[in-house]
Amino acid sequence: QKEVEQDPGPLSVPEGAIVSLNCTYSNSAFQYFMWYRQYSRKGPELLMYTYSSGNKEDGRFTAQVDKSSKYISLFIRDSQPSDSATYLCAMSARKYGGSQGNLIFGKGTKLSVKP
């Protein structure tokens, strides 16, 4: 079993839809959870960062962490065509991967928001 599982999609939704992206993980030591957005031919950029369990909201984006289920989610409300990108979850036992920077990534989910 891989440490982090993420459905690669692709996921296609109409503009204005609520998007739900998810990852599951197996390592109980993970404490820090991140979502990255990657546009075509660009590097991943940090979208959301969460420590331990709970919810975090930033504009149209909400990140949820359920450590008891080892399950994290990213919700996008009122999705826009500009949200079309690949979304990667990443996690680590130490903040931003610690000194060794070892972030464990999911495969990424390719999202397309149609106008």
Partner 1 sequence: GAVVSQHPSWVICKSGTSVKIECRSLDFQATTMFWYRQFPKQSLMLMATSNEGSKATYEQGVEKDKFLINHASLTLSTLTVTSAHPEDSSFYICSARDLLLAGAYNEQFFGPGTRLTVL
Interface residues with partner 1 (CB under 8 A) are 2, 4, 8, 36, 41-46, 49, 88, 94-108
Q: Which among 53, 58, 50, 44 is positioned nearest to 88, based on CA atoms?
A: 44
Q: Which among 33, 21, 25, 32 is positioned nearest to 86, based on CA atoms?
A: 21
Q: Which is nearer to partner 1, 14 or 43 (CB)?
A: 43
Residue 85: CB minimum distance to partner 1, A = 13
Q: Which is nearer to partner 1, 32 or 113 (CB)?
A: 32
Q: Which is nearer to partner 1, 18 or 51 (CB)?
A: 51
Residue pair 18/76 in contact (Cβ under 8 Å)? The answer is yes
CA angle 5, 28, 26 (to 5 degrees): 25
Sign of the CA dihedral running 76, 79, 83, 87: positive
Residue 45: CB minimum distance to partner 1, A = 7
Residue 82: CB minimum distance to partner 1, A = 18
Residue 46: CB minimum distance to partner 1, A = 6
Q: Which is nearer to partner 1, 42 or 77 (CB)?
A: 42
Q: How far apart are CA 28 and CA 95, in angstroms?
A: 15
